[in-house]
């Protein structure tokens, strides 16, 4: 779901990091299953067959998004400041490149979600169907301001693309400030990022009314960045210790499962990079493929699941067995749709972007 700066990707393509692909695979599949449990009537009908599993997906599987936040920070640090110093490119250019990198597949997914929502509205009446589109709402989505302006997303996951862009911009601004203060310091950017992590963990992340703003999520994102930078240094143990202390202290003061998941993912990435198995394990074509298509899957799975829900609500018996089969069908078709979207949309725009 996260993408690197394209200019850095030529030399450090994260598709060659199997551990990150594996984490993205696990997280993306959990998020798809969470949305299948959360949206649409099929999960309600199927509940008697999985009275523990479906509620678990409903309540907890969404926390897997923390893995993407940590990975996003890790890859952003890798792209923007491999040694802790901001790369020699204008900030506006880097931000514009990031926007262009995210937007073409995102816009295509918006259009797909709008079309399928219109179809599904004739198949069933359900609160999971997005409200009719207005021009203002569409423009807000195009500029990734829908959450900030109080609009509901046109598809589940639209909020994450906006937050990802905000987080990238916040980290970029932090590194720019550090560079302006001390151009040759490899530590100042890390220190400023650590201060933002503290602010996020101990204040902003404890106020759920701020979950449309980057600072709410920067604790997890910043952990990923600090882990990447920590392994670059001779004092890696000190920096990794700082990462652990910050997260554990936040958990002691106010335990949040999302912070525990972020810390776990950060530790896995840190150990993987320190030992080198981030580049060698696991060796699985399937896992690597699912990791590579995770952004496309994230973008298209909601309209696909919504359509399958509508079809099963309108034309299939409402028996638990049939509706559970519908959930499985929606999951498989979502993966297939993500693969097609990756090849036909995301990859084509990536090639266009590089040219």
b/e for 33-69, b at 16 or more Cβ within 10 A? bbbbbbbbbbbebbbeebeeebeebbeebbbbbbbbb
How many Å apart are CA 309 and CA 120, to the nearest integer? 8
| Alpha-helical segments (H) within the chain | 6-9, 18-38, 42-46, 53-60, 65-80, 91-120, 135-142, 158-181, 188-202, 214-232, 236-253, 257-275, 285-292, 294-315, 320-341, 347-354
Ramachandran region, residue 206 (left: φ > 0; alpha: ψ -120 to 50; beta: rest): alpha
How many Å apart are CA 306 and CA 42, to the nearest integer? 10
Greatest Cα-to-Cα distance within the chain, rounded to the nearest angstrom:
67
Cα end-to-end distance, the chain, whole Å: 22
Residues 6+ apart with CB under 8 A from 209: none
Q: Calculate the alpha carbon distances from 297 to 169, 225, 283, 333 in Å.
A: 24, 25, 21, 10
Query: Under a CB-based contact definition with an 8 Å cutoff, are residues 157 and 28 in contact?
Result: no
Q: Which residue has the tokens 């143990």?
A: 237
Residues 6+ apart with CB under 8 A from 30: 57, 61, 64
Q: For residue 11, what pLDDT is reported? A: 40
How many Å apart are CA 331 and CA 165, to the nearest integer? 27
Total-model pTM: 0.91
Q: For residue 1, what pLDDT is reported? A: 58
For the chain (length 355 residues), average pLDDT per consecutive 10?
43 66 96 94 96 95 95 96 91 94 93 93 89 87 92 88 97 96 90 94 94 95 92 70 84 93 93 88 92 95 96 95 97 97 92 76
Query: Under a CB-based contact definition with an 8 Å cutoff, are residues 164 and 170 in contact?
Result: no
Residues 6+ apart with CB under 8 A from 166: 144, 213, 214
How many CA atoms are closer than 13 Å to the CA of 44, on its beta-carbon side? 9
How many Å apart are CA 296 and CA 301, to the nearest integer? 8
Q: For residue 132, what pLDDT is reported? A: 80
Query: Under a CB-based contact definition with an 8 Å cutoff, are residues 189 and 174 in contact?
Result: yes
How many Å apart are CA 285 and CA 279, to the nearest integer? 14
Among residues 198, 195, 168, 192, the alpha carbon closest in space to that of 178 is found at: 192
Q: For residue 9, what pLDDT is reported? A: 37
b/e for 79-92, b at 16 or more Cβ within 10 A? bbbeebbbeeeeee
Structure tokens of 148? 């900030």
Q: For residue 13, what pLDDT is reported? A: 42
């Amino acid at each position: 779901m996260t993408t690197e700066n394209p200019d850095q990707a030529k030399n450090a393509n994260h598709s060659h990091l199997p551990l990150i692909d594996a984490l993205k695979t696990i997280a993306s599949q959990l998020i798809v299953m969470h949305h299948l449990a959360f949206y649409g009537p099929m999960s309600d009908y199927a509940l008697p067959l999985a009275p523990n599993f479906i509620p678990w997906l409903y309540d907890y599987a969404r926390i897997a998004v923390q893995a993407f936040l940590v990975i996003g920070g890790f890859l952003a640090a890798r792209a923007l400041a491999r040694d802790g110093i901001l790369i020699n490119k204008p900030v506006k250019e880097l931000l514009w490149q990031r926007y262009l990198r995210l937007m073409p597949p995102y816009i295509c997914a918006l259009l797909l979600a709008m079309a399928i929502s219109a179809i599904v509205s004739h198949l069933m009446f359900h609160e999971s169907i997005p409200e009719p589109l207005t021009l203002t709402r569409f423009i807000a989505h195009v500029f990734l301001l829908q959450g900030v302006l109080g609009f509901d997303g046109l598809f589940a996951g639209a909020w994450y693309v906006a937050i990802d862009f905000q987080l990238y911009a916040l980290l970029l601004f932090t590194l720019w400030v550090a560079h302006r203060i001390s151009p040759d310091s490899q530590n100042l950017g890390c220190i400023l990022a650590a201060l933002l992590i503290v602010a996020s963990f101990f204040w902003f992340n404890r106020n759920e009314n701020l979950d449309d703003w980057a600072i709410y999520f920067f604790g997890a994102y910043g952990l990923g960045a600090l882990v990447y930078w920590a392994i670059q240094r001779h004092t890696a143990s000190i920096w990794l210790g700082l990462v652990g202390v910050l997260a554990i202290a936040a958990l002691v003061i106010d335990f949040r499962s999302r912070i525990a998941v972020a810390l776990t993912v950060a530790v896995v990435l840190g150990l993987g990079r320190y030992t080198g198995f981030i580049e060698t394990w696991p060796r699985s074509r399937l896992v690597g493929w699912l990791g590579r298509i995770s952004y496309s899957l994230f973008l298209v799975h909601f309209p696909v699941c919504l359509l399958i829900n509508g079809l099963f609500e309108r034309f299939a018996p409402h028996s638990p067995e049939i509706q559970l089969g519908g959930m499985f069908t929606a999951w498989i078709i979502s993966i297939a749709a993500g693969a097609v979207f990756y090849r036909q949309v995301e990859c084509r725009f990536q090639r266009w972007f590089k040219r």
